[in-house]
Structures are given as structure tokens and as C-alpha cells.
Amino acid sequence: MKLRIAGTVGDSIVDGPGLRLTIFVQGCPHHCPGCHNPHTHDFEGGRDTTVEELFAAYCENPLLRGVTLSGGEPFCQPAPLAQLAHLVHAHGGDVFCYTGYTYEQLCEKQDPAVDALLGEIDVLIDGPFLLEERDLTLRFRGSANQRMIDIPRTREAGEIVLWE
């Protein structure tokens, strides 16, 4: 299955715990002032790739603990990313995902593809980057409004459970 990405980083230690493959998807509708990745906003930019190619890149390095979906906005391409995340889980890895939407906004979409991707995410870092809440000391986050949500426990509890 095809998707459009800006690029990948094969050995990231800043986008979640352990060594990770970070995938920067292409296209973002949020346009947060102060965004660090403005080149990922244009839906016509970047390059095409496939789930198979990205999963092969993940499998190439046995030291990887998981993948991080970043952007760009991952929830603009939920179907291929859900497929990739499923493969990573089956391979024993974990999945972190950044989004400019809040968790509540994603649930309100009532979109089966969005729900499928949520179902394959371990930790969701949600909400737009807010320049006025920027905090360089935060772990894995850019601004204080963003939450690190434990998705499986949140779904089980029916209320937001933060990842520790």
C-alpha cells in the first residue's frame, strides 16, 4: 500500500524510548506557527513509498525498539500507517505517533481508518505545537499542551490515561 513521506530517520533517540525508526509523513493541514518541519506541510511534496518498503527498513535493524510516526500529519494517511503499525507490532515493536489533532478530535471523526490506526498506537503525542507553550525541557514533546497518551489503557478505561 502506498503512502507519501518527507523522509525517515533510521536511528532516532528523540522521538520515543529506545532506538527508533521515525517516519516523517508528507502533508499537514495544521500549519502551527513555529513548526520545525514546514517542508512536510505540502501534500504534493515529499516522495511516494510503500508500507512494504518502510517495514523492510524497520526489519533491517534488529536494535530498533519500534517506530515513531511523525510529520506532517499521520492521520491524513491512516490506512497505510495502520497497516505498517500492525506489521511492527507483529514483529514485537512498539508504535508512537505524533498528531496535530487532539485525541478527542480523532475520536469524533468516526472514521474507520482513523480508528484502525488508533488501535495500532501505543503512545499518542497529541495536539498542535503551540509556540507560546514551547518548552525545550519536555521529553519527546515540543509544547506543554501536548499529552503523551497511553492509547490501550485509555481505550480500556474510557478516559484519558497518560503514558508514564
Give yes or no for residue 146 binding ligand SF4 (CB under 6 A).
Answer: no
Please name the residues in contact with 121: beta carbons below 8 A apart, sequence gap of 6 or more: 69, 85, 95, 96, 97, 151
Give yes or no for residue 78 binding ligand SF4 (CB under 6 A).
Answer: no
Centroid of chain to Cα 63: 20
Give yes or no for residue 71 binding ligand SF4 (CB under 6 A).
Answer: yes
What is the Cα–Cα distance from 31 to 18, expressed in whole angstroms? 29
Side-chain-facing half-sphere of 149: CA atoms under 13 Å: 27
Build a one-symbol-per-residue string for 17-56: x at contacts with ligand SF4 by CB under 6 A, - elsewhere.
-----------x-xxx--x-x--x----------------
Residues listed for the chain: 164
What is the Cα–Cα distance from 9 to 13, expressed in whole angstroms? 10
Build a one-symbol-per-residue string for 102-141: x at contacts with ligand SF4 by CB under 6 A, - elsewhere.
--------------------------xx------------
Return the number of the residue (72 or 80) whose C-beta is nearest ligand SF4. 72
Residues that bind ligand SF4 (CB under 6 A): 28, 30-32, 35, 37, 40, 71-73, 100, 128-129
